Amino acid sequence: MELSKVAPTSLPYVTLDRDWLDFSTDDTGELALGFSRGVWQSELSLVVDIYSAKNPVHPAGHVGWWSWSLWDKSDLVTTIKRNAGGFEAEIDGLEPTNQWQNPDFTGIDEDALAVRVVLRDVTTEAIVFEDALLLHNRADSLEAAGASRQLIHQPDTPITSAAWYGWPGDTAIHVVAANIFSRDAVGNFAIDLHRLFRANGIESQLYAAHFDPAVRGAIRHVSSLPETVRDHDLVVLNFSIYDPYVEMISQLRCRKILYFHNVTPPRFFQIYDAELAEFCSRAFVQLATLPPFDGYLANSLHSMRLLAQCLNSPSSVGAAIAEANADGEVDGGSDESPVRDVVVCPPLVSSDRWAGIDAAPIKLPKQTNRLLYVGRIAPHKRVEDLMALFSQYARWDNNSALIIVGGCGLHGYANYLEYLLKNTYADVADRIHMLDHISDGQLKTVYESSSAFVTMTEHEGFCVPLIEAMHFGLPIFAYAEDGVSQTLGRSGRQYFTKDFESMAADMNRVLSTAWMRESLVTRQRARLARWRRESDGTVLWSAIERVIANGVGGR
């Protein structure tokens, strides 16, 4: 296989020669490290960092770190050894320049540890590259990781077949996202695309800068993309946040499609994760300054307008849009005159992912009127507003509970919600149930046993859980945010202001009046049928077809 002659990336990187380290039978593992051109001329240091896989935080879950200067070196092999006192690392027999081992760390026998390989700027100590793999201490951990990798490639649910099948035999598709994690909308969609392509006989590979090291191999570090992509291949880039590798991807000579998932306004994150907020801000600027892709897709009309606005005024619009978006006001295009070159393609490619999933038991609240929220626990989802709404609703309905299903990646936000539960909403806290790490089968049980779906989100690109709620016949009560409104259409019960007292009264009236509830669900069913028709893959395949037909550098 001849590799593409791509423009060299300016980002330094390290390649690892394996996807995991097996310590289940041995106390020593070797990892060959390859370095990108330029690393030797820059003032970088190499750091090998080991954390607990299940609690990768400093200092509680930090095993230790070892660092080496990279001046005047070539490709190296790092050796990691386990001994009675913990771990040690060396490179080709060289002692590390600096090292630190956590004397208080007690988890060296945990099922798996995470080994991070990091490049840092010597002067500023800023991280310029990082990749990770798992060090498995037990065979069953290794086996479980293998099963997870297999699931990435081949789900146990049906896949939509391609209506178009004249695929060029040696053309592979490379599906890229900044982060690929399950239970995340962007990650799920990237994985769904990958499965779709493979199910239709197309060679496909996933890439990300950040992903669960347990599935390393099924997903590759994005820095390896230039070395594997060929001129006649296709790259599908999922864009939802600033990604330093996007510039490199945009310079690849192969054909490229950008799928826009929208970008969360930074104001939602700034007090909980200011770095993430900064990445959101920079995403708009990055979009506006990228070289053209061969095709653009967006997950909703709302996202399409925003993307088109960025693309059509690349010199100056980025920052302005970031501001406008932060205020929830996006002005660009209209229903009557959609902007050229961006195609709306809902992020739905599985025909019915629930059909192949069996409901699994899970402990449910004793209250039988259950309001359900499913989605990320993130500031823009306004989970605190859900609590405020439920505290009002609970006054109407003694037999009610609120179930919140989702993971929270923002520690500060999780703490704030916990504070609210313990203080502001202490009187209803025992009726608010927060569930994380539940299986798809358990989630199916929760959907099937709930009375209504509620969301107070203030920013959505598409909002897949609304489709799932429609599927399970749950009446939907939602704040009328743009993305939500476009997904719901004229279905669901949408509120334009957050007057929780009157919203709660209205919800109670609808849920306790059979014909109102049934009418709501009926409209939702009609809306779902329309989404199903639009999600048969036609839009996606036709967009790919157009790009493929246009050949290399089609625009």
Partner 1 sequence: MSAPSTDTSGLDLAVIIPELAKYGGAERLLIECVARWQHRHRITIYSSKTNRQLLSEHGVGREVEVKTLSPYYEGQHSILLNAVLLPKIWEREVGTHDVYHTHLWPTHLIDRHPMVWYPHEPLRILHDLRYEQALDDVADQFQRNLHIYPKYNYDRVSDMTYEAYLASIDMFDKLGAPDRIVANSKYTAGYLERVYGVGVTDVVYPGVNDQDFIYQPPDENIFLTVGQLWPHKRMKLIIEAIRHVEGAQLYIVGNGPEKQRLQRMTQGLGLSDRVFFLHGLTNLEVQILFSRALAVVFTPMKEPFGIVALEAMAAGKPLIAVEEGGFTEAVDESCAMLVPAEPERIADAMRQLRDDKERARRMGLSGRQRVKQFTWDRAAEELGTIIEDTHEQWTEQHRRAEPSGASDRPLVGVHYYCWFGSGIGSRHWNDTAQSGAVTDMPTLGFYPSSSGTTIEAHLRSLEEAGVDFAMLNLHVDARGADAYEVASIENVFSIARQIDSPIRFAIHLCPYDCKAKDLQTTIEMIYRMFTPRSSYLRLDGDPVLFVFWTGVYDGDRRWLNQLDEWTAGFVRIACSLRMYSAQDEQRKTLGVFDGWSLYSPLELSAPARWEELWQQAYTDSTAGARGLRIATVSPGYDDSHLKDPNRENNPYRTVCREKGATYQRMIDFTLSLAQQPNLVLVTSYNEYHENTHIEPSKTHGTRYMDMTRELTSKVATQWN
Chain residues binding partner 1 by CB under 8 A are 58-59, 121, 123-127, 270-272, 274-275, 277-278, 411-412, 415-416, 419
Burial class (CB in 10 A: 0-12, 13-18, 19+), 109: exposed
Q: Which is nearer to partner 1, 415 or 522 (by Cβ)?
A: 415
Give min distance, CB of 138 to partner 1, in A: 29
Q: Which is nearer to partner 1, 94 or 274 (by Cβ)?
A: 274
Give min distance, CB of 121 to partner 1, in A: 6
Encoding tokens for residue 251? 């310079």
Chain centroid offset of residue 310 CA: 22
Q: Which is nearer to partner 1, 127 or 529 (by Cβ)?
A: 127
3-state SS, residue 245:
coil
Give min distance, CB of 408 to partner 1, in A: 14
Give min distance, CB of 17 to partner 1, in A: 28
CA separation for the pair 390, 404 (Å, rounded): 11
Dump strand ranges (E) for 353-460: 369-374, 400-405, 432-435, 452-455
CA separation for the pair 486, 324 (Å, rounded): 19
Q: 175, 206 in Cβ contact below 8 A?
A: yes
CA separation for the pair 5, 252 (Å, rounded): 9
Q: Which is nearer to partner 1, 123 or 337 (by Cβ)?
A: 123
CA separation for the pair 100, 95 (Å, rounded): 13
The bridge status of strand 62-69 relative to strand 44-52 is antiparallel
Q: Which stretches within 406-554 are classed as H helix?
A: 411-422, 440-448, 464-471, 482-488, 500-511, 514-534, 538-550
CA separation for the pair 171, 165 (Å, rounded): 13
Q: Which is nearer to partner 1, 268 or 296 (by Cβ)?
A: 268
Q: Which is nearer to partner 1, 48 or 236 (by Cβ)?
A: 48
Structure letter (DSSP) for residue 416 = H
H-run or E-run covering 6: none
Q: Which is nearer to partner 1, 275 or 335 (by Cβ)?
A: 275
Q: Which is nearer to partner 1, 128 or 516 (by Cβ)?
A: 128
Say how many residues make up the chain: 555
Give min distance, CB of 10 to partner 1, in A: 17
Closest CA to 247 of 501, 487, 11: 11
Q: Which is nearer to partner 1, 54 or 411 (by Cβ)?
A: 411
Give min distance, CB of 157 to partner 1, in A: 39
Give min distance, CB of 397 to partner 1, in A: 28
H-run or E-run covering 340: none
Provide the β-strand partners of residue 81.
28, 88
Give min distance, CB of 382 to partner 1, in A: 13
Q: Which is nearer to partner 1, 62 or 256 (by Cβ)?
A: 62
Give min distance, CB of 97 to partner 1, in A: 16
- DSSP characters for 459-473? --SS-HHHHHHHHTT
Q: Which is nearer to partner 1, 128 or 357 (by Cβ)?
A: 128
Give min distance, CB of 412 to partner 1, in A: 5
Closest CA to 91 of 51, 35, 133: 35
Interaxial angle between packed helices 500-511 and 383-396, expressed in degrees from 0 to 180 and rounded to the nearest 10: 60
The bridge status of strand 98-101 relative to strand 173-180 is unpaired
User: Phi then psi for 235, rounded to 5 degrees?
Assistant: -110, 130
Q: Which is nearer to partner 1, 125 or 140 (by Cβ)?
A: 125
Q: What is the identity of the amino acid at 403?
A: I
Give min distance, CB of 418 to partner 1, in A: 8
Give min distance, CB of 126 to partner 1, in A: 4
CA separation for the pair 280, 313 (Å, rounded): 19
Q: What count of other Cβ atoms lies within 10 Å of the Cβ of residue 371? A: 27
